[in-house]
């Protein structure tokens, strides 16, 4: 019984058929070649990145059966990785109040540029230090 190819296997096969290197695809998409390499080595990539690689770098027409197969494989790959990820790995359990504060902070910071974010972070640090003293 033949098993269905994984996203990385399907990508490697398609890239090989088109005789494309990571560097060529990356250059066409204005991405670093490691972004392309990640797809073929079973590392997580955003759909937007894969879409760019497929349509611009590999010339696969959006909505074609090949494109749609990549999308299904990407969704399955993402779901499988999420299912195997350990709960709470690398994350601290926050109280509801702390989680809400983090959410509100992210909403404030999201539209800011780097310089503005730096100023907000310094002000928050000063306020925290003052509150603890």
CA 10 from chain centre, in angstroms, equals: 19
The model's pLDDT over 36-63, given as tens digits with 9 standing for 90+, comes to 999 999 999 999 999 999 999 999 999 9
Domain with CATH 1.10.260.40 in the chain: 7-84
- Report whether 28 contacts 18 (CB < 8 A): no
Name the strand (E) or helix (H) holding 23. Answer: helix 22-29
Which among 11-15, 90-94, 102-106, 118-122 has the top mean pLDDT?
Answer: 11-15
Q: What is the pTM of this model?
A: 0.62
How much is the pLDDT for 89?
54
Q: What is the CATH number of domain 7-84?
A: 1.10.260.40
């Amino acid at each position: 019984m033949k098993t269905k190819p994984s996203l990385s296997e399907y990508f490697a096969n398609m890239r090989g058929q088109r005789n494309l290197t990571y560097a060529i695809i990356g250059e066409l998409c204005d991405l670093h070649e490691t972004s392309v390499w990640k797809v073929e080595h079973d590392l997580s990539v955003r759909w937007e990145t894969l879409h760019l690689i497929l349509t611009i770098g590999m010339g696969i027409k959006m909505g074609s059966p090949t494109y749609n197969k990549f999308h299904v494989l990407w969704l399955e790959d993402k779901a499988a990785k999420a299912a195997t990820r350990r709960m709470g790995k690398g994350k601290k359990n926050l109280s509801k109040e702390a989680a809400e504060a983090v959410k509100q902070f992210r909403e404030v910071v999201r539209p800011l540029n780097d310089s503005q974010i730096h100023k907000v972070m310094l002000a928050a640090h000063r306020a925290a230090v003052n509150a603890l003293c």
